[in-house]
Amino acid sequence: MSPKSSWKCLRMDTLNPNIKAMEYAVRGPLVIRAREIEEELQKGVQKSFKEVIHANIGDCHAMGQPPITYIRQVLALVSYPELMRQPYFPDDVKRKARDILDSCCGGSVGSYTDSWGIEIVRKHVAQYIERRDGGIPSNFQDIILTTGATDAIKGIIKLMICDINSKKPGIMIPIPQYPVYSATLTEFDMVRIDYYLNESTGWGLEINELKRAYTEARKTCNPRALVVINPGNPTGQVLSRKNIEEVIKFAYEHDLLLLADEVYQDNVYDENSTFHSFKKVMVEMGEPYCDHELASFMSCSKGYAGECGLRGGYVEVVNMCPEVKLMFMKMLFAVLCPTVFGQIVIDCIVDPPKKSDPSYPLFEQEKTAVLGSLKFRAEMVYDAFNSFEGFSCNRVQGAMYAFPQIKLPSKAIEEAERRKLSPDAFYAFELLENTGVCIVPGSGFGQKSGTFHFRTTILPQPDKLKIMLEIFNKFHKEFMRKYTS
Topology (CATH level 3) of domain 17-64+364-484: Aspartate Aminotransferase, domain 1 (3.90.1150)
Dihedral of CA 124/129/135/138: which sign? negative
pLDDT at 1 over 60: no
Predicted pLDDT of residue 58: 81
Answer yes or no: are the C-beta atoms of 288 and 143 closer than 8 Å. Answer: no
In tens, the pLDDT along 89-108 reads: 999 999 999 999 999 999 99
Domain boundaries, the chain: 17-64+364-484, 112-350
Predicted pLDDT of residue 355: 96
Predicted pLDDT of residue 134: 96
The region of weakest confidence among 51-60, 181-190, 315-324, 429-438 is 51-60
Q: How far apart, in whole angstroms, are the C-alpha atoms of residue 378 and residue 108?
A: 41
Would strands 405-406 and 391-392 be described as parallel, antiparallel, or unpaired? Answer: antiparallel
Predicted pLDDT of residue 179: 83
pLDDT at 337 over 90: no
Predicted pLDDT of residue 2: 53
Predicted pLDDT of residue 48: 86
Average pLDDT of the chain, as a whole number? 91
Amino acid present at 186: T
Confidence (pTM):
0.91
pLDDT at 80 over 90: yes
pLDDT at 83 over 60: yes
Answer yes or no: are the C-beta atoms of 283 and 296 closer than 8 Å. Answer: no
In CATH, the architecture of 112-350 is: 3-Layer(aba) Sandwich (3.40)
